[in-house]
């Protein structure tokens, strides 16, 4: 039952939107349709993901103050209260990022599943008012996205690296504590920057060029979104609030 609900709410609508794009794009270019569908989904998720990015940036900027609280020698209860007061003052929720990610995961997986299963507009997947595209061009910029593409896979990995590179970073005033939390954070940051892009490239190559193109488009959109958040002067705004 859950699978049927997932298909009805997410998977099937995405396949139908992709079919509409193929129908309206001159020459039925599937690559352009994949880019358009990815941008559409990212645009719909923009308010959620933007809040997550901004919250992450604020959390990074609050790290020095949180460090001071931890070193204050106060009891755990007092530290917890001061930390929550700090979050409340700067309108930051340390758990909001996780919540927003959880909301986005089903949509992202549905979009991924559309490309993973292969682009097929048959077997009753299309709504009655949408026709099966008579023409579907599988080539995008001279590359067959219906097959494995080493070029697109490498570009997917590179774009993933830059997406991690432009993520909000700790401020220069962050005090090193040598704590497990700090070590774990550094380890995760290194893996996101160097290990995950290799994994993305590997998966993209193993499945199809459509998956790689989806990842490239998604990463470029996220990079632009991160730069937009920075352009808004988020860090300057938080600092002015007397962190």
Residue 169 has a pLDDT of 57
Predicted local distance difference test score (pLDDT) of residue 152: 93
> What is residue 238's predicted lDDT score, i.e. its pLDDT?
45
* pTM of the model as a whole: 0.74
pLDDT digits (tens), the chain, 243 positions: 666 777 788 888 888 999 999 999 988 899 999 999 999 988 888 887 777 777 776 777 777 777 787 777 777 778 788 888 777 777 776 666 566 666 667 777 787 777 776 677 776 788 888 888 888 888 888 888 888 889 999 999 999 999 888 776 544 444 444 544 455 455 656 666 778 889 889 988 888 888 899 889 989 998 888 787 776 645 444 444 444
Beta bridge partners of 137: 29
Long-range interactions of 9-18: CB distance < 8 A, separation 24+: 10/106, 10/107, 10/110, 11/110, 11/113, 11/114, 12/125, 14/41, 14/110, 14/111, 14/114, 15/114, 15/121, 15/125, 15/126, 16/125, 16/126, 16/127, 16/130, 18/114, 18/119
What pLDDT does residue 2 have? 61
- Determine the pLDDT at residue 114: 79
pLDDT for residue 32: 93
Counted domains in the chain: 1
Cβ neighbors of 182 (< 8 A, separation 6 or more) are 176
* Domain housing 165: 2-240
Residue 180 confidence (pLDDT): 45
């Amino acid at each position: 039952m859950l699978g049927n609900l997932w298909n009805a709410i997410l998977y099937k609508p995405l396949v139908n939107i992709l079919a509409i794009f193929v129908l309206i794009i001159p020459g039925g270019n599937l690559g352009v349709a994949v880019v358009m569908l990815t941008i559409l989904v990212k645009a719909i998720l923009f308010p959620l993901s933007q809040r997550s990015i901004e919250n992450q940036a604020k959390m990074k900027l609050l790290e020095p103050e949180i460090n001071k609280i931890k070193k204050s020698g106060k009891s755990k209860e007092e530290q917890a209260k001061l930390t929550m007061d700090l979050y409340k003052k700067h309108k930051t929720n340390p758990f909001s990022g996780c919540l927003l990610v959880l909301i986005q995961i089903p949509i992202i997986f549905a979009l991924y599943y559309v490309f993973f299963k292969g682009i097929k507009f048959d077997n009753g997947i299309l709504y009655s008012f949408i026709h099966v595209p008579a023409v579907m061009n599988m080539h995008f910029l001279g590359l067959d996205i219906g097959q494995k593409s080493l070029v697109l896979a490498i570009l997917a990995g590179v774009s993933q690296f830059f997406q991690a590179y432009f993520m909000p970073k700790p401020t220069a005033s962050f005090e090193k504590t040598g704590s497990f939390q700090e070590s774990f954070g550094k380890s995760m940051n290194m893996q996101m920057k160097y290990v995950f892009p290799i994994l993305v490239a590997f998966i993209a190559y193993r499945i199809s060029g459509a998956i790689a193109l989806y990842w490239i488009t998604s990463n470029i959109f996220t990079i632009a979104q991160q730069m937009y958040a920075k352009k808004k002067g988020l860090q300057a705004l938080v600092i002015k609030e007397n962190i």
